[in-house]
Structure 1
């Protein structure tokens, strides 16, 4: 109740006679990953909040939001929208600006796909939690265009300038930005010319456990896409004769399998219980790609396992070199081989309980306390 009173006192006299109305705007609800875990925590902080999104899979929305009604844009009416949502990017600015947020005192947007472009009422506060500026419009635009069909490719080529301008202008309407890592804060400054506070996203660290004994394999998890650089993990482990376990699937699975040898095991999609065991029993977790934050390495550390990470992006916020893992500067198989050999030469100094204690600093409770305190200061 103290939080409600505090917020009321700051938002204005019109809101002072009623509880503040909070809207949470997420880009789309078609699966549950790191971005959706942030929404889950926002609903813990503001249980009376309403949720809005461009497109929602009903099952995903129900699992994340319970019985709460989720407002969607007119893109929801397009047949197959939940399957081809990324291809609808040229239509999203108009769809966002048509979401009706009248009457809300606080709007929190969760941005990776477009969300911050909503139009908020006069006098309302708009806080954007930014997982990353939209890569489809900026650094990954060539890849997005290449993978799209002919019509979307033509539209994106014709509209990219306008979409980037809209993205930049919509950032100017945000009252305050929060980035999920210092790496993302720098990208916000680069693309939007805005400063951002940094609050790491929530990780359910308490759901992971230490193993009684470690087995002889290295681990990499996640979707099989190019920026993860799973190819480097395969090349390094095959070259050194080390066992590598790869979970998950993705568009690059077949090419990665063709690249691998007898030391590499693809286990595909696995249950959460199986994933926890893979984390806990691995010699170390490999992170050769550059991540905006990187939930998986924190989950590995919550399991007491060191992380061997490329020294760029979110890894610089999560991995303490020599304590919770090893950072390497060269993003190549040679660089990862060197990190593996350095790790093996000094593996005795990595204490599982200390690594897990470090990971506890990224808990869900920590995120919720820090984010609420930030919003209260802004309002």
Structure 2
């Protein structure tokens, strides 16, 4: 896929001829989020939506109020009947087959605008005929679609026997429920393609907001590379460790997860596996590293943008969200095969190329701020209302 380095990321063309909101009268807004049991990427987007619609009501299957932010707690939070089932805050994923029924029991007739925030079941709500339903899709449910074989293989024999008919039913429902959405919004071009593949629907792309102001350049660059994230197989930290074992260059790895001990055992003396680190240390390493190594496939991925905001370029595998965030030769270096050879070659080519301008990195990262998210999302809402009015 080719990139346009001059394009405004996530920009949405307007159907109107001025910047005024086309829905000037107050809207009753509901935001439907799959579950609220922590504060990860999906919940950060939910917070951004709540900033846009401060009076919105939130609907979810399960809420653990001790593990969500004060910003979300300030909203009225309604739950489905899943929240009343035994140990729902821990076992919520076991109740997945009941979630279609639970969503369809929600009474959303009072709302003019319904926003479903989905990577778990959320978009299957039933709205008023004249209401607008926008789905902000972090990802079609992977355990139903592209990663179904892996999930199935990771379970025991009895569970597999139960899962096959249940997943078949949920897949049919998931596809059918896409017809209830007026407008899909994807968090990256990669997810837009997956929405098209799974649901046969087109979508606007509005990138998630990144807390760019928490990061800035500073200090002298040191002669090491940085890898940051969960140490789990799909992040491909093992690929980076193997590559730097061969290169003999210093690599600092920050993060924890199932592969921590394995990586610690396989890392040569030039590789530091630091595990979890406080935010201040993450900021420092972002500033001092020569480049960030990003070898996995992410739906979007905010880590590269945090690095760029800190004045650090990115060496990334050319797939997934990295194709939206890393501009080859301007904000980093892309490599096109998920292999040790390809990553080693990319590091070598990066070192032989002219240094990338810090101001270019920071300016690009700023285009993924909360302000840009708000402008682009509101434009999608305006355009969707115009489409409804025009029939």
Does TM, scored on the shorter chain, surpass 0.5? yes
Q: In the superposition, relative to structure 1, how do residues 135 and 302 fare at CA in structure 2: closer, same or farther (>3 Å)?
A: same
Distance, in Å, in 1 between the alignment partners of 2:171 and 2:44 is 27
Which 10-residue stretch deviates more, 26-35 or 332-341?
Answer: 26-35
Distance, in Å, in 1 between the alignment partners of 2:73 and 2:166 is 37
Distance, in Å, in 1 between the alignment partners of 2:47 and 2:33 is 11
Distance, in Å, in 2 between the alignment partners of 1:84 and 1:247 is 30
Q: Corresponding residue for 1:354?
A: 360
Unaligned runs of 5+ in 2: 1-17, 386-391
User: Please, which of 103, 107, 110 is the counterpart of residue 103 of structure 1?
Assistant: 110
Are 2:167 and 1:160 aligned? yes
What whole-Å deviation, never above 9, does each CA across 1:22-41 have from its counterpart, x for those lacking one?
A: 00111111221221111111
User: Please, which of 47, 51, 54 is the counterpart of residue 47 of structure 1?
Assistant: 54
Q: In the superposition, relative to structure 1, how do residues 281 and 140 fare at CA in structure 2: closer, same or farther (>3 Å)?
A: same
Which 10-residue stretch deviates more, 80-89 or 327-336?
Answer: 80-89
Distance, in Å, in 2 between the alignment partners of 1:328 and 1:32 is 31
- Give the 3-state SS of the residue equivalent to 1:362 in structure 2: coil
Q: In the superposition, relative to structure 1, how do residues 4 and 29 fare at CA in structure 2: closer, same or farther (>3 Å)?
A: farther
Give 1:246 deviation, angstroms.
1.7
Unaligned runs of 5+ in 1: 10-18
8 Å CA contact retained: 1:111, 1:130: yes
Are 2:82 and 1:66 aligned? no
Q: Corresponding residue for 1:364?
A: 370
- Give the 3-state SS of the residue equivalent to 2:50 in structure 1: helix
Are 2:12 and 1:6 aligned? no
Which 10-residue stretch deviates more, 81-90 or 215-224?
Answer: 81-90
C-alpha RMSD of the superposition: 2.0
What whole-Å deviation, never above 9, does each CA across 1:77-120 have from its counterpart, x for those lacking one?
A: 23443334334322222222223323111000111112111122
Aligned length: 368
User: Please, which of 339, 347, 362 is the counterpart of residue 340 of structure 1?
Assistant: 347
Distance, in Å, in 2 between the alignment partners of 1:148 and 1:251 is 17
Q: In the superposition, relative to structure 1, how do residues 81 and 142 fare at CA in structure 2: closer, same or farther (>3 Å)?
A: farther
- Give the 3-state SS of the residue equivalent to 2:274 in structure 1: strand
User: Please, which of 271, 279, 282 is the counterpart of residue 275 of structure 1?
Assistant: 282
Higher RCO (C-alpha 8 Å, min separation 6)? 2
Q: Which has the higher helix share?
A: 1
- Give the 3-state SS of the residue equivalent to 2:252 in structure 1: strand
